[in-house]
Every structure is written in structure tokens, then in C-alpha cells.
């Protein structure tokens, strides 16, 4: 009986030590990620390998659909797609923990420097673009705005709908938060009007603008709130909200967002969605990227709600 008691006392520490040993020895084997440049030339037979994709939440729905289709066509390939942000994706590319970074903004010069310092060469691939629609509640009488007016609304210089031809009611301006590439893009291209002669890089989002973490949340708030305004990507528009026509200046015609107007450039607010890899991709990663850029892959882009690349 005494030996049994002693054995029990040693059991727990023994188990812990064993588990720790297993963990630490296994630690070095499969923990390293697949290299960004797998060996082997372009395969003629079945493709195999694994790809990690990390980055923007905006691009995630698109990449997920591409990954699913590619894996169906090539069952030996496994692709893992995650968010949660363009910045996180670029950091992962620099750390070497991802193969592809999906991004809704351009990589900054500082990030390129940090990458080069760690031996990583960011290689940019445009994969799609995204038109930002400006939406309001369907009961809102306003149906078009100029970029200058939008800028004034989002810097809280215009605070009442009657100043832009609507009801006498306060404007509830909704925006995405700083975690989103959309926030930065809208700020540069609309708030600061970078493409117009009235460009002013000192302008900021107003203090009363609501910065939201989720695009779908913003859209549902607009659907409920007769005084709200928001700028979701085109794919997020539902029948519960109304898109506004946007004019570059007061003398232009107002253009509604659509795949056609985004492609031919008449819709003024549209941005690029990109992939970044470490050096030019080859092997199974190149095959995947080729698929995304192919006719078939680009057809999926419209299905998800984004804008394919111009051909």
C-alpha cells in the first residue's frame, strides 16, 4: 500500500515531464512554416503542397472562395486563410510565418525597409479592386453628393442633412476604424481629396465620426438609422440601404457604383486589393496566384462582390 501511495505522488510530475519532453522535441520538427519558395518546377502532374495566407479581413472572403475552388481542383494542395488585418499580414510576411499576405492597402516604405532588413523581398501582385459605395437609409431624400461635400461631412464641417439638400436632421457619419485599409484609403482619397485641386493633407476625420470595426455592422446601422451615412465596399450593399451617386466635382455627372463604372474608372472611389509574397512566387504558390488572375478566378471576384482587374 505504501509503494502505491508513493507511485501516485510521482505520477503527475512524471506525466508533466514526459509531456514537456515530447513537446520540446517535437518543437523543432514541423513548427517551421513551408518555405515561400518550394522546390520543384511547374508540375505537370498533380499539384501538392500547402500555402498559408494571412492578412486583410476585406480580402478574406475573396481569397476563401479562390482557395476553396483551387483545392477542389487540386486535392493534394492545402490552403489556410486567416485575417485579421493588412498590417498583421505584412508583419507575418516579414516574420516568415506566412506565404502570401493579402492586403487592402499598399505596403509602406517603412515596411519594405524592415522586410529587406530581415531578408524578405516583398513582391506585389494586384488581384482585384474594390469600389467603395456611399450608402444612406432608403428614406433619405439625398441621392448624390460631391467628393468635397463628403469630405466636409466626414470632417464634421457639415453636420446637418439640410446643408446638402436633405431633411433638417443631424448627420450620423459612420466610418471604418483604423484597423482597416478602407479607413486609410477613404481618408486619403475622399477626406483629403488627394486627386482634386482642393487637396488638403491636414484634414482628419472629425471627432464625432463613429469608427466601426465591422463593415456589416455599419451597413446594418445605416439600415436602421434614417440619418446615417457609411462607405462599405460594393459587395456589402444590401437592399435595405441606398447607394448614392458620387460626383467628382459639382459639374460632373453623378455615378452610381457598379462593376462597370469601377472598371472604366468613371466611379471615383475605388481601390486595389493585393497579394504580397517573398520574392516572385513559384511552385504551388505561383499556380494558385495564376488561378486567381485567370479568367475563371476573376469571374469569382464579381460573385463575391468585388471588382475584377481590368483586362
Partner 1 sequence: MTKAEMSRQVSQRTAFIFLGIATAIAVVPVLFIIIYTIISGAGAITWGFLTQFPSQAGKAGGILPAIIGTFYLMLGTVLFALPVGIFAGVYLTEYARDNWLTKVINMAIVNLAGVPSIVFGLFGLGVFVLAFNFGLSLLAASLTLACQALAMVTTTSREAILAVPREYREGSLAIGVTRWQTVRHIVLPQALPGIITGAVLAISRAAGETAPILVVGAAFILPRLPQSPFDQFMALPYHLYTVSAHVPGTPTSVVWGVALLLLVVVLSFDILAAVIRARARHRR
Partner 2 sequence: MKQKASTAVVAPVSSEKSLRRRLRLGERIVEGWIFLAGTLAIVVLLGIITILLKEGLPIFAHTSPLEFLFGATWYPISDPPTFGILPFFVSTLMITLIATAVAIPIGVGCAAFLAEVASAKIRETTKPVIELLSGFPSVMMGFIGLALLSPLVQTMFNLNTGLCGLTASIMLSLMSLPIIVSVSEDALHAVPQEFKEASYALGATKWETIWYVCIPAALSGIAAAIMLGVGRAIGETMTVLMVAGGALAVPVSPTDPMMPMTAAIASGIGNAVRGDLKYQALFAIGVILFLMTLTVNLVADRVLERQKRKFAR
What residues make contact with partner 1 under the rule CB under 8 A?
12, 16, 23, 26-33, 52, 57-58, 60-65, 67-68, 71, 78-84, 88, 95, 97, 213-217, 233, 235-236, 238, 304-305
CB atoms within 10 A of CB 210: 14
Of the candidate residues 204, 264, 296, 303, the single one contacting partner 2 (CB under 8 A): 204
Between CA 257 and CA 233 the distance in angstroms is 10
Cross-strand pairs, 132: 233
Of the candidate residues 84, 138, 165, 265, the single one contacting partner 2 (CB under 8 A): 84
Of 166 and 232, which CB lies nearer to partner 1 in the complex structure? Answer: 232
3-state DSSP assignment of residue 149: helix
The yes or no reply on residue 285 touching partner 2 (CB under 8 A) is no
Contact 99, 36 (CB under 8 A): yes
Between CA 170 and CA 206 the distance in angstroms is 14
The yes or no reply on residue 43 touching partner 2 (CB under 8 A) is no
Minimum Å gap between C-beta 216 and partner 1 is: 6
Between CA 158 and CA 173 the distance in angstroms is 10
Cross-strand pairs, 125: 275
Residue 245's contacts (CB-CB under 8 Å, 6 or more residues apart) are 143, 144, 145, 253, 254, 255, 256
Of 18 and 80, which CB lies nearer to partner 1 in the complex structure? Answer: 80
Q: Position of cell 448614392?
A: 244
Of 98 and 140, which CB lies nearer to partner 1 in the complex structure? Answer: 98
Residues 138-197 that bind partner 2 (CB under 8 A): 170, 172, 177-181, 184, 187
Between CA 66 and CA 290 the distance in angstroms is 11
The entry of partner 2, partner 1, none near residue 302 (CB within 5 to 8 angstroms by kind) is none
Listed ranges 23-31, 106-114, 122-130, 260-268: which one lies at the site for partner 2 (CB under 8 A): 106-114
Contact 267, 133 (CB under 8 A): no
Binding site for partner 2 (CB under 8 A): 2, 5-6, 9-10, 12-13, 16, 57, 84-88, 90-91, 94, 105, 108, 110-111, 114, 170, 172, 177-181, 184, 187, 201, 204-214, 217, 220-221, 224-225, 227-228
Amino acid at each position: 500500500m505504501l509503494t502505491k501511495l508513493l507511485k501516485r505522488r510521482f505520477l503527475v510530475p512524471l506525466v508533466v515531464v514526459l509531456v514537456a519532453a515530447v513537446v520540446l522535441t517535437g518543437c523543432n520538427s514541423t513548427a517551421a512554416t513551408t518555405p515561400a519558395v518550394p522546390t520543384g518546377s511547374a508540375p505537370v502532374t498533380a499539384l501538392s503542397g500547402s500555402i498559408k495566407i494571412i492578412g486583410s479581413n476585406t480580402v478574406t472572403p475573396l481569397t476563401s472562395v479562390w482557395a476553396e475552388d483551387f483545392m477542389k481542383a487540386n486535392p493534394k494542395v492545402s490552403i489556410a486563410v486567416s485575417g485579421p488585418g493588412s498590417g498583421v499580414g505584412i508583419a507575418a510576411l516579414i516574420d516568415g510565418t506566412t506565404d502570401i499576405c493579402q492586403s487592402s492597402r499598399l505596403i509602406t516604405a517603412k515596411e519594405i525597409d524592415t522586410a529587406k532588413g530581415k531578408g524578405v523581398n516583398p513582391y506585389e501582385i494586384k488581384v482585384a479592386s474594390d469600389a467603395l459605395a456611399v450608402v444612406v437609409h432608403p428614406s433619405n431624400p439625398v441621392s448624390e453628393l460631391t467628393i468635397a461635400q463628403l469630405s466636409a461631412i466626414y470632417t464634421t464641417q457639415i453636420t446637418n442633412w439640410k446643408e446638402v439638400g436633405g431633411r433638417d436632421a443631424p448627420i450620423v457619419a459612420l466610418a471604418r476604424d483604423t484597423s482597416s485599409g478602407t479607413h486609410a484609403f477613404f481618408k486619403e482619397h475622399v477626406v483629403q481629396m488627394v486627386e482634386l485641386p482642393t487637396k488638403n493633407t491636414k484634414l482628419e476625420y472629425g471627432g464625432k465620426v463613429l469608427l466601426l470595426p465591422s463593415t456589416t455592422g455599419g451597413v446594418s446601422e445605416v439600415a436602421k438609422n434614417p440619418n446615417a451615412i457609411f462607405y462599405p465596399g460594393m459587395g456589402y450593399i444590401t437592399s435595405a440601404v441606398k447607394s448614392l451617386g458620387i460626383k467628382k466635382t459639382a459639374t460632373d455627372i453623378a455615378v452610381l457604383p457598379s462593376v462597370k463604372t469601377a472598371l472604366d474608372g468613371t466611379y471615383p472611389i475605388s481601390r486595389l486589393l493585393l497579394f504580397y509574397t517573398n520574392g516572385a512566387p513559384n511552385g504551388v504558390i505561383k499556380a494558385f496566384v495564376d488561378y486567381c488572375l485567370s479568367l475563371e478566378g476573376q469571374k469569382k471576384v464579381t460573385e463575391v462582390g468585388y471588382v475584377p482587374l481590368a483586362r
